């Protein structure tokens, strides 16, 4: 009971601290803006730990974060192998292939107005569908190993990318295109020096949306069959043993991979589209 | 007409590619079947055929590809096979089947209408809970600075991680505390639709510019009046955009939530189909899921158009 009360006290204290920081004089500074969410996240972990111990919650329902951290540290090699299998082999290869295919098709489609008016609505429609559902079919075609996961990712990534690239390529004003024409630029010159750079904000938007989709596709596809390695497999296998600490450790890996993936894309975006209003302070 | 012609062309092209793809995808099974029926197949031994690629087999047995589009348990069933499976497992099963609604008074558990309904129920319950909580949190974030600074970064980060990975665990954990079926799946759906709605709504509630906020201040409007007269109305377009993302995510959540527990639903049908090699069943379930998703997104779009025109926003 003591621990529960302590958890409650810590929650109130941390919230008061955050409220004071957020409404204080330094609220606009970089340090406070980073500190406040960190305090909040840390408090949640602490309260979680204390509540699980205080209320003696069964490990099968919710393991405390300290146990998850221990499991994470003790199984580094297993988790690394899962990471390589699912993220690097499955998600990343599928992501690259899917984006390249979408890019090529977008360039082709862009030359014909007829194709664009046909493919854009179909692509938009497909992008809203639960494409993860193709996973069982693709696992049947490409086997249990990472190739089938990459195939699922290709299908999932393709439509959002296609729609974004085509929309981006259309995002130049008549004035800009006329300028290129007065320079007597060829199709390819105007593509590379005007329309592709102008499409970059759209392309990065698609890349970021697809990054999350790629991880979802690779993990969910493993629920339909996988070799004895991989994040999705590990989740299923550990659930079967009711080893919830391991499941949480795998989720930590997936979360880290997802944020890292997104972070890298954001950094590249900042370098490439530094001219765009959303990137200027 | 000019709008539909390109779309129909693209759809027709996709169907054509599908029909053509059936030939190489199914060629091995077709040839095995033909050989058993006594037809001469080239090359004659199964071992040689294995080493020859699929396209090579098609080229050397071009006269035998007839059954490609009528194989049972084909690797790639033809569109009309999927269509007939869809018909069989919806209308036919309900009207003529022993367990259908006509004979037994309840939906057959072998029909996709029943399984689609199970998934739809979980999706809707989860979506409503998730988006309601999302809107509430967004209001909290906009009106409380501490909440904004503490929660908002995590809400954004949570969109970059594959939350679906949590689904099987949520199902198992809720099952062990006595919650199963619709509620467990709805929790996953709610969780998936929650964050897109939060992020979209925060953007929407902050959409009014300083001029409009100042105007309300000169009217001596209270916080409540500011919320209901200005911020909520101007957030409506943002709300609908994020609701469309949210409901698609909810559906995916419900389908994935049905994988670990085989108690009905489109996800269960897909996994069952993949266990028993019933490809037509997977494709049919996939199409029902697609129709469901399209219908739900369309429904929200329809409500959006009605609401916006009622509110006088130019659509």
Per-residue pLDDT of chain B (315 residues; tens, 9 = 90+): 677 888 888 889 888 888 888 888 877 777 777 777 777 777 777 777 777 777 777 766 666 677 777 777 778 888 888 888 888 877 777 777 767 666 776 677 778 888 888 889 999 999 999 999 999 999 998 888 888 888 888 888 887 778 788 888 888 888 877 777 788 888 889 988 888 899 889 888 888 888 888 998 899 988 888 888 888 888 888 898 889 888 988 998 888 888 777 677 888 888 888 788 788 888 888 888 888 988 998 999 999 999 888 887 654
Question: Can you list the alpha helix ranges (DSSP code H) found in A30-186?
Answer: 30-54, 65-74, 76-83, 93-110, 113-127, 135-142, 146-169, 174-182
Q: What is the pLDDT of residues A38-69, one digit of tens each?
A: 888 899 898 888 888 888 888 888 888 999 99
Distance from CA of A179 to the nearest CA of B (A): 31
Q: What is the pLDDT of residues A67-96, one digit of tens each?
A: 999 999 998 898 999 898 888 888 999 999
State whether A125 and B3 contact (CB < 8 Å).
Answer: no
Distance from CA of B105 to the nearest CA of A (A): 31
The superfamily in CATH containing domain A72-279 is MetI-like (1.10.3720.10)
ipTM of the complex: 0.80
- With 0.90 as the threshold, say if the pTM is over it: no
Distance from CA of B166 to the nearest CA of A (A): 7
State whether A39 and B150 contact (CB < 8 Å).
Answer: yes
The tokens for A266 are 């954001």
Say whether residue B240 is in contact with chain A using an 8 A CB cutoff: no
> Is the omega angle on the peptide bond into residue B43 within 30 degrees of 0, that is, cis?
yes
Q: How many CB pairs under 8 A join A and B?
A: 168
Mutation site, A118, A155, A225, A262, interface B, largest B CB count within 10 A: A118
**Of residues B75, B168, B294, nearest to A235 (C-beta):** B168
In terms of phi and psi (left: phi > 0; alpha: psi -120 to 50; beta: otherwise), the region of A124 is alpha
Q: How far apart are CA A45 and CA A42, in angstroms?
A: 5
State whether B173 and A62 contact (CB < 8 Å).
Answer: yes
The residue in chain B having the minimum alpha-carbon distance to the alpha carbon of residue A63 is B173
* Among the listed residues B217, B242, B243, B245, the one whose alpha carbon sits nearest the alpha carbon of residue B229: B217
A233 half-sphere exposure, CB direction, 13 A CA radius: 19
Provide the chain A residues 201-230 that lie in CB contact (below 8 A) with chain B: 208, 211-212, 215-216, 219-220, 223-225
- Residue B46 to residues A68, B32, B49, B60, B61: CA-CA distances in angstroms? 52, 8, 5, 14, 14
The domain limits of chain A are 2-57, 72-279
Provide the chain B residues 129-188 that lie in CB contact (below 8 A) with chain A: 145-146, 148-154, 157, 159-162, 164-166, 168-169, 172-173, 176-177
Q: How far apart are CA A139 and CA B22, in angstroms?
A: 17
Q: At what angle do helices B266-275 and B232-257 cross, to 10 degrees?
A: 30
Q: What is the b/e burial string over B262-296, where b = at least 16 CB atoms within 10 angstroms of the residue's CB?
A: eebbbbbbbbbbbeeebbbbbbbbbbbbbebbeeb
**Of residues B152, B173, B294, nearest to A61 (C-beta):** B173
- In this prediction, residues A200-219 reach a mean pLDDT of 89
Distance from CA of B165 to the nearest CA of A (A): 7
Q: How far apart are CA B270 and CA B267, in angstroms?
A: 5
**Of residues B75, B149, B274, nearest to A37 (C-beta):** B149
Q: How far apart are CA A131 and CA B268, in angstroms?
A: 16
Distance from CA of A182 to the nearest CA of B (A): 32
The domains found in chain B, sorted by start residue, are: 4-76 (no CATH), 112-311 (1.10.3720.10)
**Of residues B8, B149, B271, nearest to A33 (C-beta):** B149
């Amino acid at each position: 009971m003591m621990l529960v009360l302590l958890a409650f006290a810590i929650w109130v204290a941390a919230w008061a601290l955050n409220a004071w920081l957020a409404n204080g004089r330094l609220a606009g500074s970089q340090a406070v803006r980073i500190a406040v969410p960190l305090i909040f996240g840390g408090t949640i972990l602490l309260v979680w730990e204390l509540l699980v111990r205080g209320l003696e919650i069964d490990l099968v329902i919710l393991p405390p974060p300290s146990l998850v951290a221990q499991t994470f540290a003790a199984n580094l090699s297993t988790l690394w192998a899962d990471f390589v299998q699912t993220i690097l082999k499955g998600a990343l290869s599928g992501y690259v292939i899917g984006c390249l295919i979408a890019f090529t098709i977008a360039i082709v489609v862009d030359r014909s107005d007829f194709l664009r008016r046909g493919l854009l609505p179909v692509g938009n429609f497909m992008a809203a569908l639960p494409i993860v559902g193709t996973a069982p079919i693709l696992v049947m075609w490409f086997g249990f190993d990472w190739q089938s996961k990459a195939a699922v990712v290709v299908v999932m990534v393709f439509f959002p990318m296609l729609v974004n690239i085509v929309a981006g390529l259309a995002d130049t004003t008549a004035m800009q295109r006329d300028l290129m024409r007065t320079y007597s630029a060829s199709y390819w010159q105007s593509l590379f020096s005007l329309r592709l750079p102008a499409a970059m904000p759209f392309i990065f938007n698609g890349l970021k949306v697809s990054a999350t989709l790629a991880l979802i596709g690779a993990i969910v596809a493993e629920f339909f069959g996988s070799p004895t390695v991989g994040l999705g497999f590990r989740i299923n296998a550990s659930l079967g043993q009711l080893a919830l600490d391991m499941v949480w450790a795998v989720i930590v890996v997936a979360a880290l991979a997802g944020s890292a993936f997104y972070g890298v894309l954001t950094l590249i975006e900042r370098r490439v589209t530094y001219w765009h209003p959303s990137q200027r302070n | 007409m000019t709008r539909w012609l390109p779309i129909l062309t693209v759809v027709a092209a996709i169907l054509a590619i599908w029909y053509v793809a059936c030939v190489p995808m199914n060629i091995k099974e077709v040839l095995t079947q033909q050989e058993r029926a006594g037809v001469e197949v080239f090359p004659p031994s199964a071992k040689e055929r294995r080493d020859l690629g699929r396209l090579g087999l098609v080229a050397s047995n071009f006269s035998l590809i007839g059954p490609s589009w009528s194989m049972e348990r084909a690797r790639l069933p033809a569109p009309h096979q999927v269509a007939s499976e869809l018909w069989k497992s919806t209308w036919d099963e309900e009207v003529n089947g022993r367990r259908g609604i006509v004979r037994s008074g309840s939906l057959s558990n072998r029909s996709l209408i029943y399984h689609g309904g199970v998934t739809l129920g979980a999706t809707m319950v989860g979506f409503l809970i998730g988006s309601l909580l999302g809107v509430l949190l967004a209001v909290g974030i906009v009106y409380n600075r501490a909440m904004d600074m503490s929660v908002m970064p995590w809400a954004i980060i949570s969109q970059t991680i594959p939350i679906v990975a949590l689904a099987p665990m949520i199902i198992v954990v809720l099952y062990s505390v006595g919650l199963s079926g619709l509620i467990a799946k709805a929790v996953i759906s709610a969780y998936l639709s929650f964050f897109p709605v939060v992020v979209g709504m925060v953007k929407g509630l902050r959409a009014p510019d300083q001029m409009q906020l100042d105007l309300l201040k000169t009217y001596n409007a209270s916080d409540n009046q500011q919320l209901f007269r200005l911020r909520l109305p101007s957030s409506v377009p943002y709300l609908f955009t994020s609701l469309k993302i949210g409901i698609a995510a909810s559906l995916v959540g419900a389908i994935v939530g049905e994988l670990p527990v085989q108690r009905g639903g489109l996800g269960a049908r897909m996994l069952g189909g993949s266990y028993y090699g019933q490809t037509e069943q997977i494709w049919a379930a996939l199409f029902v899921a697609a129709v469901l998703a399209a219908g739900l997104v369309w429904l929200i779009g329809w409500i959006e158009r009605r609401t916006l025109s009622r509110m006088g926003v130019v659509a």
